[in-house]
């Protein structure tokens, strides 16, 4: 489903703004931006109509590499 975007973790790719949720997620995302964009386009079809998340940005960490 949809998750909140963190306005401090953004990137513009091919003229589009992308927000991530945590620095750890940024690390995973940057490992394969083209592949992740293809996956996100496929997933978006199923969640586009859903309401935006009202959740707060979670405070958690993972073993993912952290992007600077």
Domain ranges within the chain, ordered by starting residue: 6-47
Q: Which contacts qualify for 26-32: CB closer than 8 Å, 24 or more apart?
A: 26/66, 26/67, 27/64, 27/65, 27/66, 27/67, 28/64, 28/65, 30/67, 31/65
Digit-coded pLDDT (tens) for 7-16 = 889 999 999 9
Query: Higher pLDDT residue, 9 or 63?
Result: 9
Model confidence, pTM: 0.66
pLDDT for the residue numbered 14:
93
């Amino acid at each position: 489903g949809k998750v909140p975007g963190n306005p401090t973790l953004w990137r513009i790719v091919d003229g589009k703004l992308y927000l991530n949720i945590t620095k750890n997620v940024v690390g995973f995302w940057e490992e394969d931006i083209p592949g992740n964009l293809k996956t996100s386009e496929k997933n978006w079809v199923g969640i586009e109509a859903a309401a935006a998340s009202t959740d707060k940005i979670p405070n958690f960490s993972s073993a993912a590499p952290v992007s600077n």
